[in-house]
């Protein structure tokens, strides 16, 4: 199985690159942000509670997102692999993901981290807000809070995978297709080494 964690701050291009990666490698895309937004759209209790945190740019509790991922892994047992987008965002989420994957006799192949400097992220989030309709993309205070939550709570996840020798950093500024090809080269180098 090819199990990728696509990592990076909000606005780094994870969603865009995920779309291309799932097509090239036939992976199931698991974006906790998308899963939470569909709960909000469906008006569920979980969605209502998550929305209050999401709209402020804060993380929802670990057990909520871990539960959603657990459910999706169960539903997609025949998958060729997964791409985790926006998950894990904390070290406890990373530990929970590792344990869940053990249940399916698999593991994370590699983490690909998209690196983009903070001010460029703020510009991208506000630009995306012009069309995304996402409340958390609309104003600079929320955009900055999301970036600082990432720097404070999520960066340790990179160290977690680095310690496992599974961390690859890729510059996230430039042509989308060029970044995509760089990601693919790196993934294939890892897959060849493991084969
Ligand atoms: P995203 O679409 O990945 O930018 O996520 C949007 C928002 O959903 C985040 O700002 C968080 O409020 C929430 N969220 C998404 N994924 C997670 C996660 N793995 N852990 C905690 N909160 C999350």
172 lines ligand 1 (CB under 6 A): no
Q: Can 194 be counted among the known catalytic residues?
A: no
Residue 110 lies in a domain: yes
- pLDDT recorded at residue 193: 82
Q: What is the DSSP letter of 136?
A: G
Q: How many independent structural domains does the chain possess?
A: 1
* Side-chain half-sphere CA neighbours of 63 within 13 A: 1
Residue 39 lies in a domain: yes
9 lines ligand 1 (CB under 6 A): no
Residue 195 lies in a domain: no
Q: Can 23 be counted among the known catalytic residues?
A: no
Residue 71 lies in a domain: yes
Which CA distances in Å does 113 have to 50, 52, 82, 159?
25, 28, 16, 11
Find the 146 Cα to ligand 1 centroid distance in Å: 9
pLDDT digits (tens, 9 = 90+) for 147-194: 999 999 999 999 999 999 999 999 999 999 999 999 999 999 998 887
* Nearest alpha carbon, ligand 1 atom 5: 33
Residue 129 lies in a domain: yes
pTM, 2 dp? 0.96
pLDDT digits (tens, 9 = 90+) for 2-56: 999 999 999 999 999 999 999 999 999 999 999 999 999 999 999 999 999 999 9
Residue 118 has pLDDT above 90, yes or no: yes
- Owning domain of residue 53: 2-189
- Helix, strand, coil % over all residues of the chain, rounded to 5: 60, 15, 25
CATH number at residue 61: 3.40.50.300
60 lines ligand 1 (CB under 6 A): yes
Cα separation, 171 vs 19, in Å, equals: 18
Residue 194 lies in a domain: no
Residue 13 lies in a domain: yes
Residue 178 lies in a domain: yes
Q: Is 79 helix (H, G, I), strand (E, B) or coil?
A: coil
């Amino acid at each position: 199985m090819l199990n990728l964690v696509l990592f990076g701050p909000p606005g780094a291009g994870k969603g865009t690159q995920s779309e291309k990666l799932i097509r090239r490698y036939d992976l199931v895309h698991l974006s906790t942000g998308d899963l939470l937004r569909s709960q909000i759209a469906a008006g569920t209790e979980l969605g209502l509670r998550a929305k209050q945190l999401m709209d402020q740019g804060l993380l929802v509790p670990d057990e909520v997102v871990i539960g959603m991922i657990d459910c999706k892994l169960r539903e997609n047992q025949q998958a060729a692999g997964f791409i985790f987008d926006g998950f894990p965002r904390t070290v406890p989420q990373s530990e929970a993901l590792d344990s869940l994957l053990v249940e399916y006799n698999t593991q994370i192949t590699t983490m690909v981290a998209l690196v983009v400097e903070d001010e460029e992220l703020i510009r991208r989030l506000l630009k995306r807000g012009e069309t995304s309709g996402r409340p958390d993309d609309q104003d600079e205070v929320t955009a900055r809070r999301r970036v600082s939550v990432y720097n404070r709570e999520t960066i340790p996840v990179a160290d977690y995978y680095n310690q496992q020798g599974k961390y690859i950093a890729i510059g996230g500024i430039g042509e989308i297709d060029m970044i995509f090809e760089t990601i693919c080269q790196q993934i294939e180098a890892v897959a060849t080494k493991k084969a």
